[in-house]
Amino acid sequence: MDRNVRSVDDVLSLMDSLFAPDADRWSSGAASWWDAFYANRSRPVPFFVDKPDENLVSSIDRGLITPGRALDLGSGPGRNALYLASKGFTVDAVDLSPAAIEWARERAREAGADVHFHCGDAFALPAADFDGPYDLIHDSGCFHHLPPHRRISYLHLLDRLLIPGGHFSLSCFASGAMGSELSDADFYRQSRLHGGLAYTPESLGWIFSDLVTIEIRRMRDEPADSPFFGEPFLYTALFRRPEGSA
């Protein structure tokens, strides 16, 4: 007889176990699934391109984000991390997959970019592994793979690592275009995430309501010859942590 729950972390771990068929995409044991995903670099996967997110570029070009310390969550092959480094940011990047991190390091060497790459679960890595707090945290495709209860961990990470006045930039599946639109409760009833969760502008604004919303919009559809990554099945959002928040 197991009686293993006595903390919030225990509850979160118990709820993690409900999603065993999908846990290989987002949990600390996800490396093997993503390593297989990244094994063939020639696959026509949109985010395999070596291009930064168009919304990230736009935010910097408009002066909404200025150089400082940056953390790229779920960095994949490093396309956004390398762009931030080229713009004068001091960059940490974290991903679950050793294959993705190795690819990103290769790209960084080729570009002569100075990026600190970390392989592992951002929720579990020791605080000493990060050089935060950060002026910018950018997430292009990590958040929508999390089960609902892990939003608690995600918000705690933002609260711990984002400085007052700092910015949080996000790209995630857009409701009506990509991702599952089941209710949070139904994900637990079915014990599946169905490839990722869709979000509306209203749900994003509510989840990140402790932050100031600067903009939430559909990502622009960038043509193949564009120097930027853009897919209209994603929402992009930019938030700011209020000054004076502890």
Walk along the chain (246 residues) and give the pLDDT tens digit of each residue. Answer: 788 899 998 998 888 888 876 665 656 556 677 777 777 888 887 877 889 999 999 999 999 999 999 999 999 999 999 999 999 999 999 998 888 999 999 999 999 999 999 988 888 776 667 767 999 999 999 999 999 999 999 999 999 999 999 999 999 999 999 999 999 999 999 989 998 999 999 999 999 999 999 999 999 999 999 999 999 999 999 999 999 776
For 113, list phi and psi in degrees, rounded to 5.
-95, 140
Please report, for the chain, the start and end positions of each structural domain, with discontinuous segments joined by +. 14-240
SS3 209: coil
Entry pTM: 0.93
Asked if CATH classification 3.30.1360.120 holds for the domain at 14-240, the reply, yes or no, is: no
Query: Residue 84's CB: how many other CB atoms inside 10 A?
Result: 26
